[in-house]
Structures are given as structure tokens and as C-alpha cells.
Structure 1
Amino acid sequence: MDAVHSLERQHLRTELNRKYYCLFIFFTIAMKFIVVFAILTGFGVIKCETGSILSHDKVVVCSVFSEPSPGFFDSFGNKFKIGNVDLNLCTHLVYIHMISYVFEKPWDSTDNFSDEKYKQIASLKKKFPHLKISLGFQNSPAEYLKISSRRESRHRFVTSAVSFILRFDFDGLNLIWSYENDEPFGKKRFGLLVRELKEGFKPKNLLLSFTFFKSRNFAVPHGFLAMSNNVDFLNVHPNFTENLIKSGVPKSKIVMTIEFNGRGNFGYYSACGLLSKDEGWEKYYDSKIGATVATRSIGNGQTKKIIFPCSSRSVANTVRHAVRRDVSGVMAYTIDSDDSQGKCGFDDDTFNDFGSTKGVTLHIPTRENDTFPLLRTINGAIAVAIEELKQEEHLRKSR
């Protein structure tokens, strides 16, 4: 009888050992798979298209016009398509389309821009669910004041804006204009419009942001601070940032604007296009003006000169400034002026102004893709600038 029990116990141990062994093999294979996947993901071999791959917590607003910019931009073959942009590189998208706001027919497009096109833009969130898409509303100060002149007109604007945004599944509204004097902010009525917009947006959880182009007169306009309390983000020129901070605007609301195009829609890609037409160009970075310059001899002692509206180095330096001032992030205005075809080549001086502190050693990211070099520089520069600050802080504490 004891022999029988002994055989049963031995058989039971054998079965248990077999089960444990199978479990051991299963978990070993699973762990190897997880490790390999993590390594591939870390090196960018595997990337998920359904979520942001950003390695930082800064805001990156990508703005784009509904149609490519005219003039030089188109003449060099920069065939921009929003569908070709890796929007994992952006946290927010501002889609700028000229809309004629008239009281008789609010939010009427200035051309035959179809409802289907708006839906296509908003549907980008299916592929990039992290992305917040706002409609860019561009108008003159006089028109804004006209809209905000009476309670009835403000109410009509707010209700029609909410209806339009929800109809096409946008996430918010971005008010835009180039601004040369303080008249709009000197008018209490405009402040009321912004406040009433925020009140109308809040129940629907919609974003309200403001893109403000002003770089010459750095004084904060009257009423600007009060208005800033009712927006989620203020997209402003880097030179205007310091005065906003001093006036009491929270850093968490400030987004530094990096303009990819200059006067007359002469964008980054346009400058590259001019250089590609002739040989003999020499490029260098002029630290005094903070811009890349290209020169070429044209004979008789004369020289042709092109000043780039921006470059990878100037973009990286602006990003570094934004990180060191601890503002919310940066805005690329506009990504359709970036090199969407990958024809401009790499700049080898992008991070030359980083890591100047003794004892700081930075890992400079290598670029695996030629397209959209400025947008990719923004994200790379944010990571490098954050690491630079961490190392500098560590050095200060260790002294």
C-alpha cells in the first residue's frame, strides 16, 4: 500500500514539475519579447502611429494654412500635404483657413472649401488621437472690434463659433492677427468678446488660444493681461515673452512662436530653392542677427546675399530660450513653409550653441528622416535643452 502511495506522489510531482517547467518557458519567451520590443522602440525602429512619440512634456503647436503659401514657396516645388506630416511631432494643430464672418451668414468660407474638407482635417485625430486640432480664425483688428461692438453681435459670434467647431469635430478656436497698435486691447469690448468666448467654450471643453504677432513695440498693450486670463494659450513672438512674464501672464500660458517664413511668404524652403539653382553658395550663421546667411560671388566684385528667414540653428536656439524661460512650449508658424520634400539637406551646426557650460556633456540626436527638418529640430532641441538644464543644475548642487 505504501508503495502505491509512493508511486502516486512521484507521479504528482512529475506532473507539477512539467507544468512549472512549461510556465517557466512561457514567461522566459515573453520576457525576451518584451525586452526586444523595448529596445526596438527605444531606438525608433518601432513607432506607434496612434499616439505621440514626444519625449517631453512641452507644447508643440503646429500651424498650417489650408492651402500652400503662394509666390516663392510654390515655385520651388514644395508639394505640401498635411497627410504627409508626422503629426506625432505636434501636440496641437492650428488649421488656418480664411473665413469671412458676416452677420447675415456667420462662418462662411471665402471659397468653395467643402464641409468634407473640414471633416478630413478633424479626422486626423483618428490616426493621432493625442492631437488637439483648433480652427485658425484670422481677421483684422477693425473686424474684431466690429464683432465685439454690441452684446448681440458678440453672442451671435460665440454661439455660431461653438456650433461650427462642434459640427466638424474640432477641439477649439485660435484667434489670429498681425497687430501694430494697441487699439484692439484698449477697447473693453474686445476683452468682453474673449471672455464670452471662453464662457461659451468651457461647458463643451473647447480650447481657446490667441496668436499675436507683435515684435517691434514690446510694451504690453492695455487690457492684454485681463484678456490673457480667458485663453488657454498665448502664441507670441519670443521678443515679447519677457514683457508678458513681467506683466504677470503665467508662463504656463505662453507659447513662443517660431516663424518659418519671412516677408512676402519667403519661407525656409524658398531659401533652399534659391540656393539649389546655382552653385558657389557659401552658408554661415551670423550670431549678431541670429540667422543663417548664404553668399555667392556674381562677378565684378559683387556678391549676392540671402538671409534665411530661419534655419535649424535659429530654431534650436529659440527652443532653448523657451525651455530656459520655462514657458509652455513653442509654435511652428507655419509648417507648410518647412522642407516637406527633404531636399534642403542637413545643417551640421544646429546645436553649436548648446552645452557651453564646462562639465556639461550632451547627447545630440541624429536625424533619421530628411523631411520637415525644422519641425524635427524643435522636438530634438527641446529634449537636448531639458537635459542641458538638468546637468547644469546637478553641477550647481555638487559645488
Structure 2
Amino acid sequence: MSCIILIVISTFWVLSAAQESQNTTGPTHGKVVVCPVPTESAIGIIGNNFKIDEADWNLCTHLIALDGKFLLNNEMTERNKEEDYKQLSNLRSEYPHLKIYLAGRIQEYFVDFLKVNDSTRLQEYIKGITDYLKKHHFDGLDLNCGELCTSLTKISDFDKVNLLLQHLKESFKQDDTKLLLTSSFSMSTEFLAEHIDYSAPAKHLDYFHFLPIEYDMHLLEKYNVSRTRDQLDILSVQEKIDSLIESGVPANKIVMGLTFGGVNFQSEILGDTVSKFDRINGYSAICEMITGSEADKWMFYYEDVKKLTNAYYKNGEKNKKRIIMYGESRMVANQMRFAVRRGLAGAATITVDRDDFKGICPLKNDTFYDFVPDNGIILHFLEQKESTFPLLRTVNEAITISLEELAQRSKGSASHSTVNVFYISFVLSSFVVLMNLI
């Protein structure tokens, strides 16, 4: 009998431990943190030293796999895909909380979708996508509207994009695995910002990823300091998200895109119109530039309203100057505070390897400088000791602190309301007693 009891207790302990292990991986704040990542083969193409298995995936809730075809239209062999996809699915053993998506361009699916002329072929096409995701053990599909959306000039074209998303979501719902569907959109063109109803595609999506800036690689010569400053401006991004919510996109579906980097310009003088676009850099690349052997030649200016850091470097060649405009942890913290206050689903990086995954940049001491709490609210700031992935760590810490701030404010408002009701009741009761005495 005692042996049976021991077995039961042991079994219960094992199950409890397994459940506890599952619950202790990943962020605990309840918001989504989406981390697109180049697969191993894609990393070989883009040429950085990022290693998927060296990252701390406890910082993310969702991982989106970007293969070489997605990044550079580079055809990959099925063998490359099998190896890459297996490496990703193996992460679940250590990070059971992690949802893993496959990334795709809406443009590629859209072109194939338009070729389908009858309902039977349409069902086969959509089922083929569903089966492919299941075969490689993905939890869902993320479609980036990117090049297709920036080229749209007719509302009717966007309606067809909505129809594709609708068919995909219906197929995913019917499947017993309940695959998830997300998509990334931006307001990078005037047409998209003024004429497109984003609430339509949002109906078919589990999450709506909003990108504050979408670089058109064919029009880079048109980028200048002024335009980039406006697009990266935190207030501009917040206004666009507010307009999305006002148009009918549910706030709890919106995932706020984070650039994790900046833009380089070359200029003979520090002016908007004369600055020449140089290249786009992730935060990791920027850290390597500003902390290298010529670190003492960089000057920094912080724009408090826009939450942008400007780095200036005079290289001595024909008096040319290099300008980098980028966001650091202070911008990220303010973005997350806004996201929590608006009730957004969470945040998404462009790619996780754009963060300082090597831990090169010194940790910032002004990350939460703007978090000045109201009277009676006490916020707890933890000292950040880990040097790797500082921006991603800031995302999670800022969400936690902002939720704490919001909860205390709500509790304070409720307490204040209770006191007001009590005070009014007391005054009315006193008045009645006084009238009876008279």
C-alpha cells in the first residue's frame, strides 16, 4: 500500500515539475514579444555571427523563421529547409512556451492566389499551405505585406489581399492544430495611410504587426535626415497606432513594431537636404561602430521629444560627416509604456539579431528616465546586468513595469472613487439628520 502511495506521489511530483517547467519559460507579463530570426542558412547569406541556439528565447513568446528565400529571394534546397526547420522545432524542448511561425511574403502567395480560377483548385492551394506548415511543425504563418503593400494604388487590390487572408484563416480554423495567422503592415506610403481600411485584414488575423517604417530598397536615394526623423519619431508612431485603433483595428491584436536600429547618412554639413543616404544598420552594427577604435570621435545628441539618438562622426575626408539616427533602450521603454497604456498585444522586432547580441554597447542608465510615476505609485526598477540583447530585455522589463504602473493607477482610482462615494453618503446622511433636528 505504501509503495502505491509512493508511486502516486512521485507521479504527481513529476507532472507538477513538468508543468512548472513549462510555466517558467518565457515572459510572465502576458503580452506577446515577437522575434523574427534568420534561419541558419539565411545567416550564412547575410553574413553575421548570430547563432540561434545561443540566444535566450525566454525573452520572446513567438519566433518567426526568416529563411534565405524570404530575405534575399534566394532559392533554397529542400535539404536546407529541413535542417533549418528541425533546428527551430528542437528549441521547444528547452522553451516549451515558444510559438514558432514560418515567414512569407504576401506578394508570393498573392500572385499564386490570383492564378487560381475555380473553387476546387483554391481549396487545394490553401490546403497545400496548411499541410506544409504542419509537416514542418510550425504553429502558424506570418505574412509580410512589404513590397506588395507599398506598391498598391487601388483599394480593389487590397480587397484581394483581404480575401487571401480570409481563405487562409478559414483553413487554419478548420484544422485541428489551430494554426495562427499574423501579418505585418505599415503606413509608409501616403496611399496606405489615407485610403486603406486596416480593420478588414485585422478580422482574419490573430495578430496585426504594425511596422513604423518600411524601407523600399528601390527608393533609398529619396531618404533623407528629415524624412527618417519623422518616420522614427516616437510621437508619429503613436499617432499612427491611435489612428489604427480609431479605424476599428482591435488594440489587443496590434503588435507594435520596433526598429532596433537606425539609418546612416553622409554629409558635408549637418543639414537635412544635403545628407546622402548611406545604409540601414541594426543596433548591433551601430554598437560596433560607436565603440570601436575611433569611439572618441563620435558626438551624441539626444532628441528628448522624438526619443531619438543622433551620433555624429567627422571622418576627416573632405570634411565629410557621418550621421546615425537610431533608438536606444530609452526609446524602447517609452514605446512599451505607450503599448501597455493603449492595451496593445505586445511588441515585435524587425529581426532579433539586430539587437546587440554580442553585448558590445555599454548598458544605459537612463532607460527609465521618463518613467516619473504619479503620487502614490511605486515602481520597481531592476538593475540590468546582462549585456546581451539589451533592447529585447528592455522590452520585457518595460512591459512589466508599465503593467505594474497601470494596475496601481487603476487601484488608486478605484480607491479614490470609493472615498468619494463614502464622503457624499456621509454628507447626505448628516444633512438628513440635521433636517430632522430642525
Class of the TM-score when normalised by the shorter of the 2 chains? 0.7 to 0.9
Residues 147/173 of structure 1: CA separation in 2 closer, same or farther (3 Å cut): same
Question: 2:75 matched to which residue of 1?
Answer: 110
In structure 1, distance between residues paired with 2:155 and 2:130: 23
Matched-pair contact (CA < 8 Å) for 1:70–1:265:
no
Structure (1/2) with the larger helix percentage: 2
Residue 343 (str. 1) matches residue 343 (str. 2): no
Alpha-carbon distance change, 138 to 265 in structure 1, aligned in 2, over 3 angstroms: farther
User: Hey, what does 1:231 align to over in structure 2?
Assistant: 205
Structure 2 matches for 1:81-92, cutoff 5 A?
81-92=51-62
**Corresponding residue for residue 378 of structure 1:** 395
On the 8 A contact 1:182/1:221 being kept in 2, the answer is: no
Deviations 1:280-301 (A, max 9, x none): 2343421243211223455799
Q: Distance in 2 between matches of 1:181 and 1:242?
A: 24
Distance 1:62 1:132 in 2: 10
Tell me which of 185, 193, 200 is aligned to 1:212.
185
Residue of structure 2 equivalent to 1:44 = none
Question: Which digits, 9 at most, give the CA deviation of each residue in 1:152-209, with x for residues without a partner?
Answer: 4643441221111111100010001323254475333322211110111112200000
Q: In the alignment, is the contact (CA less than 8 A) between 2:309 and 2:325 conserved in 1?
A: yes
Answering whether residue 142 of structure 2 is matched by residue 160 of structure 1, we say no
User: Hey, what's the Cα distance between the residues in 2 that align with 1:312 and 1:168?
Assistant: 35
Q: Which of 95, 110, 122 is equivalent to 2:65?
A: 95
Match of 1:248 in 2: 248
The alpha-carbon deviation at position 145 of structure 1 amounts to 4.5
Which region of structure 1 is more displaced relative to structure 2, 164-173 or 299-308? 299-308
Partner residue of 1:176?
144
Q: Residue 203 of structure 2 aligns to which amino acid in structure 1? A: N
What's 1:257 paired with? 257
Give the superposed CA RMSD.
3.0
Structure number with higher relative contact order (C-alpha < 8 Å, ≥ 6 residues apart): 1
The superposition leaves residues 55-95 of structure 1 with CA deviations (integer Å, 9 ceiling, x where unpaired) of 31111111112224977xx5xxx521111111111111111
Say how many residue pairs are matched: 340
Give 1:148's aligned residue: 114
Which residue among 333, 347, 350 is the counterpart of 2:350? 333
Structure 2, unaligned runs of 5 or more: 1-19, 213-236, 264-278, 417-438
Q: How far apart are the structure 1 equivalents of 2:153 and 2:66?
A: 24
Residue in 2 that maps onto 1:132: 99
The equivalent residue for 2:3 is: none
CA distance in 2, matches of 1:121, 1:303: 44
Bigger Cα Rg: 1
Q: Which SS does the other structure have where 1:236 is aligned?
A: strand
Distance 1:202 1:184 in 2: 30
CA separation in 1, counterparts of 2:117 and 2:335?
A: 40
Q: Which runs of 5 or more residues in structure 1 are unaligned?
A: 1-46, 101-107
Distance in 2 between the 1:242 and 1:109 partners? 37
Deviation at 1:387, TM superposition (A): 1.6
- Which residue is equivalent to 1:267? 282
Letter in 1 for 2:208: L
* Residue of structure 2 in register with 1:199 after alignment: 170
**Residues in 2 aligned to 1:301 and 1:362: alpha-carbon distance in whole angstroms:** 50
SS at 1:193 equivalent: helix
- Distance in 2 between residues matched to 1:265 and 1:294, nearest whole Å: 14
* Identity in percent: 34
Give the TM-score, by structure 2 length: 0.70
- In 2, distance between residues paired with 1:262 and 1:295? 13
Paired with 2:151 and 2:123, the residues of 1 have a C-alpha distance of 26
Q: Which amino acid aligns with 2:156?
A: G
Between 300-309 and 125-134, the greater mean CA deviation after superposition: 300-309
Offset at 1:212?
A: 1.2
Question: Mean Cα displacement is larger for which, 300-309 or 124-133?
Answer: 300-309
Change (3 A) 1:201 1:306: same
Q: Distance in 1 between matches of 2:75 and 2:290?
A: 35
CA–CA separation in structure 1 for the residues paired with 2:183 and 2:97: 21
Alpha-carbon distance in 2 for matches of 1:95, 1:89:
16
- Counterparts of 2:74 and 2:136, CA distance in 1: 14
Q: Look up the equivalent residue of 1:64 and give its one-letter code.
A: V
SS in 2 for 1:371: coil
The structural deviation recorded for 1:137 is 0.3
Contact 1:174 1:211 in 2 (8 A): yes
